[in-house]
Amino acid sequence: MNRKNFLKSIGLASAGVAITGTSTLGQSSSAGLALKGKTALITGAARGIGLGIAADLAKQGVHIALLDIGDATGGMAVKGYRLATEKELNDATQLIKKLGVKAIGIKADVRDLAAMKRAVQQTIQELGGLDIVVANAGIASWSPFEKMKEAQWKDVIDVNLTGVANTVWAALPTLKAQKNGSIITISSIGGRQGVPGVANYASTKWAVIGLTKTLALELGKYNIRVNAIAPTAVNTPMYRSEGQYTSTGMNSFEEQDKAMLGYHALPTPALDPVDIAQSATFLASDQAKFISGVVLDVAAGGNAHYTG
């Protein structure tokens, strides 16, 4: 993907970042969000959905801490695609700064609770606070369950579920003390139905929904809202990978797109990160001040297949 298409896919082009590299904050995309001056910590923010959310929040004047592992494998048996690099994290941080807000890049592993606690403290010290937490970091490791290696199961659980818990644990003392905050987790259509070839991934995304709803009940008394987004296919490096389409028995991206067109009610094979980002911005905003414990399906109508 060239730089112009990349910027478009995460919504930065429309956010006021010119392809030549000049930038303006641009106009607010929604009225009444009351987000300007707040601070967000976003995990898995070097690219894809995480970077899309960072860009959309920055358009509203939110200062952003972009956290990512910054390592192509993260020491895990990742096959079929690679994780974001440290350079991609640095480049993403610079892109967000061009939107006129403060931004820092933090290289950390969500599997490490101590590192996440340090990341929260760095966010507060360098950006002035913490109001919004987006637990987005996730990996996939494709295999039929029968042939799945123990390491594949453990790696995905550790990142996609324990990583979300660590993110919340690290942020919770600050959010509780100020009696205010918004936590957004990223689930998936794979957390709403069975998905052959990724039993580990689907298990974590179902579990993220259970964690989200439980936290909403436990943390509401502190005026902390906790919501989840369950996206369908999104144009990210993870989804646009050989590992993804072969896991479902496809032989090409074209076959994958045809299958998703048949699954979606709306005429698109996949969404762009900005489509998920705009929903996250809404959930973080005052327009959603009485919304907590919800799972927002951003699924092009594919969610109409769910039984409940």
**Closest residue by Cα to residue 89 from 71, 74, 110:** 71
Q: Which two tokens stand for residue 193?
A: 């139905």
Q: Which two tokens stand for residue 143?
A: 């295999």
Cβ atoms of 59 and 25 within 8 Å: the answer is yes
Place of tokens 């769910």: 306
Helix, coil or strand: residue 29: coil
Residue of 201, 239, 245, 306 marked active site: 201
Q: From residue 74, give the alpha-carbon distance in Å to each of 52, 89, 251.
A: 22, 14, 28
Query: Which DSSP state fits 293?
Result: S
End-to-end CA distance of the chain: 37
Q: Which two tokens stand for residue 142?
A: 């494709």
Q: Radius of gyration over alpha carbons of the chain, in Å?
A: 18
Q: Which two tokens stand for residue 144?
A: 């039929």
Cβ atoms of 46 and 66 within 8 Å: the answer is yes
Cβ atoms of 72 and 47 within 8 Å: the answer is no
Has 245 been annotated as catalytic? no
Enumerate the active-site residues. 201
